[in-house]
């Protein structure tokens, strides 16, 4: 341990004085990231702009920057120590980038390698304590990366079937005659196909990302965070199923023109906001429940005395 500390201190002394300025270090890291990963960044931009499943991708870097800004006082007070092991992590990121891009052709791996490179750069220029504070905003950037196509295609079908099944169940609860075959719902006047856009995939991806932020801002333990993030999946699926049923009811009442009206896309946004509100209420409830349990434990402890 003492040898390691001495080596790191010696490494810090070798660096030029100019590199000890945190703003210069930050500029070097960001410039290197842009030069190496500019093709990945352009690919991400095109994905966010052209793929409606990832429209939220524009918000993810903004949220990460906000989290860094929110922790600026803690970062200012944290000691900066250049750590040589960061070079190894950064090189690993570059190796994955080259392998994924030139040999495997995986945009997901190429994009993920950028996060590894950033973490290596932070460790090299600022040290372990800085990396602990910046790990969350850096890793959160994974939500801006489109999932691999094989994973997307393997999920979209089951989600369509799930939406159709829940929709059928809810319609039967409302005493509306309905028959389902796969992703098709047969009602007396119309036949409804649960398309890919109605599969809850978009809500699931976006709500999963926002559930991490809800947990980060509101809850105070890892166990509660896991509960919040895990619950975002059924909440997104149920919200989408309720939206599907509402649209079907409007079609039965007003005709198929509802699907071409402004309400079709608007309903998606409204139900997504409802799902996000449920997540926030769940987080607040878990926090209050935790405080109540702590008070009860303290009361029992006092009574035993």
**Burial class, 203, CB count within 10 angstroms (exposed 0-12 / middle 13-18 / buried 19+):** buried
DSSP label at 198?
A: G
Enter the tokens of residue 216. Answer: 């980060």
pTM for the model stands at 0.81
User: What are the pLDDT digits (tens) for 101-146?
Assistant: 777 778 899 999 999 999 999 999 998 989 999 999 999 999 999 9
C-alpha–C-alpha distance, residues 144 and 59, integer Å: 8
C-alpha–C-alpha distance, residues 49 and 42, integer Å: 11
pLDDT at 3: 45
User: What are the pLDDT digits (tens) for 253-276?
Assistant: 877 777 777 777 778 888 889 999
C-alpha–C-alpha distance, residues 95 and 77, integer Å: 34
- H-helix or E-strand containing 141? none
Residue 51 C-alpha from the chain's centroid:
16
Enter the tokens of residue 155. Answer: 């999920």
Q: What is the pLDDT along the chain (305 residues), one digit of tens a residue?
A: 444 544 555 455 555 665 667 788 889 999 999 999 999 999 999 999 888 888 888 999 999 999 999 888 888 888 888 888 899 999 999 999 988 877 777 889 999 999 999 999 999 999 898 999 999 999 999 999 998 888 888 888 889 999 999 999 998 998 888 888 888 888 877 888 888 877 888 888 889 999 998 888 888 778 888 899 999 999 999 998 998 888 888 888 877 777 777 777 778 888 889 999 999 898 888 888 867 666 665 555 555 55
Buried b (16+ CB within 10 A) or exposed e, 217-244: ebbeeeebbebbbebbeebbbbbbbbbb
């Amino acid at each position: 341990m003492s040898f390691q500390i001495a080596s790191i201190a010696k490494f810090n002394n070798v660096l030029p004085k100019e590199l000890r300025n945190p703003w210069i270090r930050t500029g070097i890291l960001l410039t290197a990231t842009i030069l190496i990963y500019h093709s990945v960044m352009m690919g991400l931009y095109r994905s966010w702009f052209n793929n409606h499943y990832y429209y939220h991708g524009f918000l993810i870097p903004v949220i990460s920057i906000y989290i860094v800004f929110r922790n600026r006082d803690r970062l200012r007070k944290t000691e900066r120590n250049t750590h040589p092991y960061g070079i190894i992590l950064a090189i690993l990121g570059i190796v994955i980038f080259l392998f994924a891009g030139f040999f495997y052709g995986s945009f997901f791996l190429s994009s993920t390698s950028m996060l590894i490179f950033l973490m290596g750069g932070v460790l090299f220029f600022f040290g372990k304590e800085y990396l602990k504070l910046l790990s969350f905003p850096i890793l959160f950037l994974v939500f801006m990366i489109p999932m691999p196509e094989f994973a997307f295609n393997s999920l979209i079908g089951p989600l369509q079937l799930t939406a159709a099944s829940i929709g059928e169940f809810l319609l039967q609860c409302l005493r509306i005659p309905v028959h389902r075959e796969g992703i098709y719902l047969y009602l007396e006047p119309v036949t409804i196909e649960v398309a890919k856009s109605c599969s809850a995939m978009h809500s699931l991806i976006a709500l999963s990302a926002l559930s991490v932020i809800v947990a980060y801002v509101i809850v105070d333990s890892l166990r509660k965070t896991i509960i919040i993030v895990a619950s975002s999946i059924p909440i997104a699926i149920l919200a989408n199923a309720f939206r599907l049923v509402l649209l079907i009811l409007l079609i039965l009442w007003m005709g198929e023109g509802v699907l071409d009206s402004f309400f079709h896309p608007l309903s998606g946004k409204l139900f997504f906001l409802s799902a996000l509100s449920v997540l926030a209420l769940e987080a607040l409830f878990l926090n209050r429940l935790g405080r109540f349990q702590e008070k009860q434990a303290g009361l029992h402890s006092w009574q035993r005395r």
